[in-house]
Chains A and B, each alone.
Chain A
Amino acid sequence: QKEVEQNSGPLSVPEGAIASLNCTYSDRGSQSFFWYRQYSGKSPELIMSIYSNGDKEDGRFTAQLNKASQYVSLLIRDSQPSDSATYLCAVNHREYGNKLVFGAGTILRVKS
C-alpha cells in the first residue's frame, strides 16, 4: 500500500455540484492532514488542515477525517470552474520522521 493514495481522476462535476475528493493513508499514527490545491504550473496552496476526527468547515470547503478507517476527504460545495485544479492530500508519516507524504493528487474539472 502506498503511504498516501488518491484517485488520480479526472473527477468531473457540473458547476454548482458538490465535489468529493478522497484520500487514504497507511500510517495509523498520523496526526496531521492537509489538502492543497495546485493549478497547472503553479505551486500548491494550502486550503484545509485537520487534526482530529470529524468534520471541519471553511467556507465552501469541508474536510472530513476518520482515523479508524485511515481516510480523509475534501468536499467542495457549489463547485465553480475556478475550482478546477489538482488537489493534493498530505499526511505526516512516522516512518519519514513525521514529515509530510503527499499523494499524487486528484484532478478536478468543474464544467460550466
Chain B
Amino acid sequence: DGGITQSPKYLFRKEGQNVTLSCEQNLNHDAMYWYRQDPGQGLRLIYYSQIVNDFQKGDIAEGYSVSREKKESFPLTVTSAQKNPTAFYLCASSTPGTGEKLFFGSGTQLSVL
C-alpha cells in the first residue's frame, strides 16, 4: 500500500541531545513537509522540500535541520538548540497540480526527559 511512514511513534529526548525523526513515502510525491503541532494549536510548518537536494525553511525552522538525499526520504533532526521540542511532529507529502493537497504520516510524539 502507498503511504507515508513515520518512525518512531514516540521519542524521548534528553537535554542537549539531537534526535532524528524518520519520514519515508512511496507515493512518488515530489514535495515533502514537516509540521509541528502543539496542543490546541494548528499545524506550523518547519521545513519543506519540493525536489531532491533542495529544501526551504518554514515558519519555525530554528532549532531544526533536514536533508533530502532521496525522493522517498525527508528526515528531521531536532537539535539541542530547540529549547521547547515537546510536540507532535507530522510529515506530509504532496504532488504538483493538486493545490498543495497534503497527505500525512501517522506522526511522532516527541517528549523531553
Contact = CB atoms under 8 A, between A and B. Distances in A.
Contacts of A98: 100
Interface in A47-80: 49, 51
B12 to A, nearest CB: 17
B101 A46 contact: yes
Interface residues of B, number: 22
Nearest to B106: A43
Chain A interface category by residue count? 20 to 34
B102 A46 contact: yes
27 contacts: A4-B42, A8-B40, A32-B101, A34-B101, A34-B102, A42-B107, A43-B105, A43-B106, A43-B107, A44-B104, A45-B104, A46-B101, A49-B101, A51-B99, A88-B43, A92-B100, A96-B45, A96-B59, A98-B100, A99-B45, A99-B100, A101-B42, A102-B43, A102-B44, A104-B41, A104-B42, A105-B42
Interface string B82-113: 00000000100000000111111111010000
A100 interface: yes
Interface in B3-57: 35, 40-45, 48, 56
A8 B42 CA distance: 11
Interface of B: 35, 40-45, 48, 56, 58-59, 90, 99-107, 109
A31 interface: yes
B41 A100 contact: no
Contacts of A45: 104
A106 to B, nearest CB: 11
A103 B42 contact: yes
A90 B102 CA distance: 10
A104 B40 CA distance: 6
Contacts of B101: 32, 34, 46, 49
A45 B48 CA distance: 19
Given A42-B107, A43-B105, A43-B107, A32 B100 contact: yes
B43 A42 contact: no
